[in-house]
């Protein structure tokens, strides 16, 4: 049968597959046809191995026909951000330096997806090494926003968000170091979850800032985000920062709140966020309307304070770039990646390969990280930033005493037009609502809330919960999702 894949979610695809209405091959072919039809406009995909996907789908159908399916999701495709390795596929991080590198093994998240029958579908675009907020820092292509192709999809997981919003895949994996899942989710009208640091193994995620990076899903629904958290989360002995806590039951929890309201939930509004410089009035209005919706649903609304908010960007850019300068030191064009053709000796080869291989934003961040760690500046910048990080973490701990969930905007504006923002510092300042979470390590989710009337672009709200409180986070997100004024978020493409 021919299937309508417009905004088809993981949970709906699973129903179609398990009722026998469609086969995995039909499902995957429908998404491949969609990609072939529109990705020349969206440019979300860097690589797509059609034959490998179909052969995996055939294997899934075989299992379904004998009752041996790996899970109810056996045969559902999912796009993978190009910094998460999948065996036998390229992993370039959208960098010229790693353009033709083929991953020799599966990341833990990809292995867990495969174990449930999910089919990794292509490599989706990103800002080079996950550094950026627009996807414009990709060395290969500029991904467009499916809601308006003159606008950016956000970043760094812009390819993930755009591929989901364009119905090219039912869901995608991204990574979030300072908002790189939540901001593109808001810009593209999808759900983006950044789990608690340590929830999901980072084994096989190319490291940007190891103490901040976390993998998470971008989906059409909160239920799908919960399904994927159940699938990819949990302890991994290959990641020493992986938490021992069980990571399951989230989809069941989300299903269980169907029809419920927010009675008994206290939602905190951090006053510093709502008075932040640069917050567009239209975004504030949409956030206020979302707060009103929560109040109508029975939530108690309280004001809270995160007093060190104004220092979060500085602390973040010091810590993230310091870690990046160390992590990216391994990319020297010797063991893998692009090596500069002419050099007089080994050290010269490092200089030339890195000079030619890295784009401007990556260079800026390596330079900043190198500077803040350099002799004479370490205490003034890096150590100081780590202490400020403690203060920011305490802010969230204190706020958690007064509420279950914090509600904030995701980004100060809707998705901007290509080239509209070019000043690097101004771009960093737009991360104000998302980065503190990565410093504190707790979890957050971006859920579409409304369409901005003037631009016609979607806008999300961010919900934040304390460490390991994803269950409450997803329950509140699902109740909001079921009751928001705008019920459907479908890009007009």
Partner 1 sequence: METNNSFDVTYVAELARIELNDADKARLQQDMQAIVGYIEQLNEVDVSGIEPTAHAVTLTNVTREDRAGKSVPRETMLANAPATVNDDELIKVPQVLPGEGMA
- Measured from the CB of residue 246, what is the shortest distance to partner 1 in angstroms? 16
Under the binding rule (CB under 8 A), the answer on residue 335 touching partner 1 is yes
Least spacing, CB of residue 289 vs partner 1, in Å: 32
Which residue in this structure is represented by tokens 């907020």? 133
Does residue 393 belong to the site contacting partner 1 (CB under 8 A)?
yes
User: DSSP 3-state assignment of 384?
Assistant: helix
- 356 near partner 1, rule: CB under 8 A: yes
Span interacting with partner 1, options 102-110, 115-123, 133-141, 480-488, rule CB under 8 A: 102-110
Residue 348 near partner 1 by CB under 8 A:
yes
- Find the helix or strand (DSSP H, E) in which 216 lies: strand 214-219
- DSSP, collapsed to helix, strand or coil, labels residue 137 as coil
Name the residue nearer to partner 1 (CB basis): 85 or 461.
85
Rounded least distance, CB 438 to partner 1, Å: 8
Of residues 355 and 419, the one with the C-beta less far from partner 1: 355
Could you tell me the two tokens for 17? 């597959």
Q: How far apart are CA 315 and CA 330, in angstroms?
A: 24
x/- contact string, 261-290, with partner 1 (CB under 8 A)?
Answer: ------------------------------
Compute the Cα dihedral for 279, 177, 407, 271 and give only its sign: negative
Q: Does 383 bind partner 1 (CB under 8 A)?
A: yes
CB-CB contact of 427 with 155 (8 Å): no
Quick check: 366 binds partner 1 (CB under 8 A)?
yes
* Among 29, 141, 343, 486, interactor with partner 1 by CB under 8 A: 343
Q: Catalytic residue numbers?
A: 81, 156, 180
Contact between 401 and partner 1 (CB under 8 A)?
Answer: no
Q: Is 412 exposed, middle or buried (0-12, 13-18, 19+ CB in 10 A)?
A: middle
Backbone angles phi, psi at 42, to 5 degrees: -90, -40
Q: Which of 150, 360, 402, 420 binds partner 1 (CB under 8 A)?
A: 360
Q: Does 114 bind partner 1 (CB under 8 A)?
A: no
- Using an 8 Å Cβ cutoff, are 101 and 91 in contact? yes
Q: With CA atoms as reference, report the closest residue to 287 among 299, 303, 272, 269.
A: 269
- Let me know: does 366 contact 324? Beta carbons within 8 Å: yes
Helix 10-18 and helix 222-232, axial crossing angle in degrees, nearest 10? 80
Token pair 């050099």: residue: 343
Does 308 bind partner 1 (CB under 8 A)? Our answer is yes
Name residue, tokens 């949970």. 11
374 binds partner 1 (CB under 8 A): yes
Examine residue 302 and tell whether it contacts partner 1 (CB under 8 A).
no
Residue closer to partner 1 by CB (options 140, 371) is 371
| Site residues (CB under 8 A) for partner 1, limited to 146-175 | none
188, 169 contact by CB (below 8 A)? no
101 binding partner 1? (CB under 8 A): yes
21 lies in the binding site for partner 1 (CB under 8 A) = no
Please report, for the chain, how many H helices and E strands are present, in that order. 18, 11
Query: Within a 13 Å sphere around the CA of 207, how many CA atoms are in the beta-carbon half?
Result: 21
Rounded to whole angstroms, the Cα distance separating 103 from 66 reads: 32
Among 74, 82, 332, 475, binds partner 1 (CB under 8 A): 332
215 binds partner 1 (CB under 8 A): no
Helix orientation angle between 222-232 and 108-115, rounded to the nearest 10 degrees: 110
**Restricting to residues 311-330, which ones interact with partner 1 according to CB under 8 A?**
311, 313-315, 317-318, 325, 329
**Contact flag: residue 457 with partner 1 (CB under 8 A):** no
Please identify, among the stretches 101-109, 186-194, 290-298, 444-452, the one whose residues bind partner 1 according to the rule CB under 8 A.
101-109
Give me the 422-451 binding string for partner 1, x by CB under 8 A, dash otherwise.
-xxx--x---------xxxx----------
Choosing from 15, 256, 347, 453, the residue that interacts with partner 1 (CB under 8 A) is 347
Q: Which of 212, 215, 227, 400 binds partner 1 (CB under 8 A)?
A: 212
- With CB under 8 A as the contact rule, which of the stretches 28-36, 45-53, 64-72, 363-371 interacts with partner 1? 363-371
Dmax (CA) for the chain in angstroms is 70
Q: How far is the CB of 476 from partner 1 (least distance, A)?
A: 22
Alpha helices in 267-311 (DSSP H): 271-274, 281-296
Look at residues 230, 222, 229 and name the one whose alpha carbon lies nearest to residue 258.
222
Least Å from the CB of residue 429 to partner 1: 8
If the CB atoms of residues 63 and 235 are measured against partner 1, the closer one turns out to be 235
The residues in 225-254 that bind partner 1, with binding defined as CB under 8 A, are 237, 240-241, 243
Alpha helices in 116-181 (DSSP H): 158-165
C-alpha R_g of the chain: 21
């Amino acid at each position: 049968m021919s299937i309508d894949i417009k905004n088809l979610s993981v949970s709906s695809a699973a129903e179609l597959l398990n009722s026998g209405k469609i086969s995995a091959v039909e499902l995957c072919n429908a998404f491949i046809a969609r990609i072939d039809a529109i990705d020349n406009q969206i440019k979300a995909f860097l690589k797509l191995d059609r034959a490998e996907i179909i052969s995996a789908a055939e294997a899934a159908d075989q299992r379904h026909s004998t009752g041996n399916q790996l899970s109810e999701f056996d045969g559902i495709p999912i796009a993978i951000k190009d910094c998460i390795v999948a065996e036998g596929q390229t992993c370039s991080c959208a960098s010229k330096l790693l353009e033709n590198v083929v991953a020799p093994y599966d990341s833990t998240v990809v292995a867990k997806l495969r174990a449930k029958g999910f089919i990794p579908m292509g490599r989706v675009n990103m800002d080079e090494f996950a550094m950026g907020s627009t996807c414009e820092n990709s060395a290969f292509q500029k991904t467009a926003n499916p809601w308006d192709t003159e606008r950016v999809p956000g970043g760094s997981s812009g390819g993930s968000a755009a591929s989901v919003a364009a119905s090219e895949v039912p869901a995608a994996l991204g990574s979030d170091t300072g908002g790189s899942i939540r901001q593109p989710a808001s810009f593209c009208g999808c759900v983006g979850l950044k789990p608690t640091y340590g929830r999901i193994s980072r084994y096989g995620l190319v490291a940007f800032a190891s103490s901040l990076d976390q993998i998470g899903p971008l989906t059409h629904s909160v239920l799908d985000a919960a399904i994927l958290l159940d699938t990819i989360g949990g302890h991994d002995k290959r990641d020493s920062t992986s938490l021992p806590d069980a990571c399951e039951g989230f989809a069941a929890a989300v299903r269980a709140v169907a029809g419920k309201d927010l009675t008994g939930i206290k939602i905190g509004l951090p006053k510093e966020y709502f008075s932040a410089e640069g917050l567009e009035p239209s975004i504030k209005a949409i956030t206020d309307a979302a707060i009103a919706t929560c109040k109508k649903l029975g939530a108690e609304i309280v004001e809270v304070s995160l007093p060190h908010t104004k220092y979060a960007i500085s602390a973040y850019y010091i810590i993230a770039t310091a870690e990046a300068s160390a992590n990216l030191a391994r990319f020297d064009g010797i063991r893998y990646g692009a090596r500069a053709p002419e050099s007089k000796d080994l050290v010269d080869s490092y200089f030339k390969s890195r000079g030619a291989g890295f784009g401007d934003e990556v260079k800026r961040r390596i330079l900043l990280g190198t500077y803040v760690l350099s002799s004479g500046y370490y205490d003034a910048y890096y150590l100081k930033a780590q202490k400020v990080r403690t203060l920011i973490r305490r802010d969230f701990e204190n706020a958690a005493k007064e509420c279950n969930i914090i509600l904030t905007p995701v980004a100060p504006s809707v998705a901007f037009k290509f080239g509209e923002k070019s000043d690097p510092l101004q771009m960093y300042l737009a991360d104000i609502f998302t980065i503190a979470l990565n410093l504190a390590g707790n979890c957050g989710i971006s859920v579409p809330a409304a369409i901005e009337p003037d631009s016609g672009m979607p806008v999300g709200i961010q919900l934040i919960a304390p460490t390991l409180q994803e269950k409450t986070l997803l329950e509140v997100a699902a109740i909001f999702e079921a009751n928001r004024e705008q019920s459907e978020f479908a890009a007009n493409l």
